[in-house]
Amino acid sequence: MYPGATCALHHDNPWQLLVATILSAQCTDKRVNEVTPGLFKKYPAIQDFAAAKQEELAQDIRSTGFFNNKAKSVIGAARKILSDFGGEVPREMDKLLTVPGAARKTANVVLGTAFGIACGVVVDTHVQRIAQRLDLTKHKEPGKIEQDLMKAIPKEDWILFSHQIILHGRALCVARNPKCADCALNPLCYAKDKTA
């Protein structure tokens, strides 16, 4: 259904993807994509983010929600990457997890999309909902869902699978009133909240 699925967050490099992914927490990708062009114009390099005033950056990203915490994370991420990783976003999960604002979901997005490295499966709200609907997990906690998906999905498909499921969650398998009649997965799905 989604053979060419890719990350919906607009970015030109791994650093921009990391920033966009941090901003996407509790926010739509559409909104992030409205904010980032002006943001990356104002702060063109990682050094610009590291030198930013938190209050000013918070106002620049206000419409993404949780803007004070996100501003703190982005500035902290820039400073950590400059001080510990020579200004380059790390390509290893354990190193990326030391960067402020980069938990497993964010790290999986960046490693998979920017570097083509499959360390795990991105578990956002769409993946969580659909994995449960398709009986790929019984868990509610993202870390446990990720472990179940890593067992069920071949490693070479982890990156694409995440993008496909996220697109499916936006297009058809929405949270309220999923469009089950239009879904090719309908015969395989036994979700309690299926629609006719």
Q: How many degrees, rounded to 5, is the angle at CA 16 between CA 64 and CA 25? A: 30
Q: Does domain 14-115 have CATH number 1.10.287.3510?
A: no
**8 Å CB contact between 43 and 66:** no
Q: Which residues of 45-59 are buried (b: 16+ CB within 10 A; e: fewer)?
A: ebeebbebeeeebbe
Q: What is d(CA 128, CA 133) in angstroms, rounded to the nearest whole number?
A: 9
pLDDT tens, 45-72?
999 999 999 999 999 999 999 999 999 9
Active site residues per annotation: 105, 124
pLDDT tens, 90-129?
999 999 999 999 999 999 999 999 999 999 999 999 999 9
> Domain extents for the chain?
14-115, 125-188
Model's pTM, two decimal places? Answer: 0.95
pLDDT tens, 119-176?
999 999 999 999 999 999 999 999 999 999 999 999 999 999 999 999 999 999 999 9
Give the domain 125-188 fold: Endonuclease Iii, domain 2 (1.10.1670)
